[in-house]
Amino acid sequence: MNRINLKLSENKKLLSIYFTAGYPTINDTVSIIQELEKSGVDMIEIGLPFSDPLADGPTIQASSTQAIQNGMTTELLFDQLKNIRETVTIPLLIMGYFNPMYQYGIEAFCKKCNKIGIDGLIIPDLPLKEYEEQYKSIFEANNLKNIFLITPQTSTERIIQIDTISNSFIYMVSSASVTGGSTSFGENETAYFERIASLNLNNPQIIGFGINSKQTFQKAIKNQNGAIIGSAFINFLEKNKITSIHNFIEQII
């Protein structure tokens, strides 16, 4: 069974952390992953830097720009992760935009992910229909879960479509803003969380965007299965040493 599904089967609320590969420095990727697992994180989303990250806010955009300037590439990321399963057991996902994966070759990209132990991909700009018609069989052949995003504006009909084709979890974007765009959840977000919970979807939901503290984490997991922290963690990395990552995680859980 895929490691994501195994983790989702545990009777607990999950904390997933996003960070940009190659940031703060080019060789930090593996050390950050190892420290996150030691600190009790359940899943990790490794951001593949891209020059035009439309869904990302200033913090992640800046980290992506810095990572590219540092020399991070798709091939280098794969090389850095080639032995990651010797030391890390929790689910690892790559989150990125479709263009770099397409340039690499989708089948080649998926095969490489499978070889090094990546469990899933989050590709915000890959349309549902295109995935289903052209790439679903490639993902499945390489034991990769494709994670789809929904937002407060996503229609119930489309949510049901996404739920039908998904087989791990659904990434619930908390609001219409970009990553890092909000610092708390109000009545609108709470109503959205409750509405999605009431649909009784087949796939668990994990909330991202706007999770930056113990308070927002607790609100996010009240009705859903977990939460993802990205911008707040990258801000932490900018100012602190990798060896102090456990201090950040302790403040959340």
Active centre residues (catalytic): 45, 56
Instruction: Give the Cα-Cα-Cα angle 31, 61, 37 (nearest 5 degrees).
Output: 25
**AA letter at 212:** N
Distance, in Å, from the CA atom of 128 to the CA atom of 49, rounded to the nearest integer, reads 22
Q: Residue 100's closest CA among 134, 136, 116, 124?
A: 124
- As to burial, measured by CB atoms within 10 angstroms (0-12 exposed, 13-18 middle, 19+ buried), residue 168 is buried
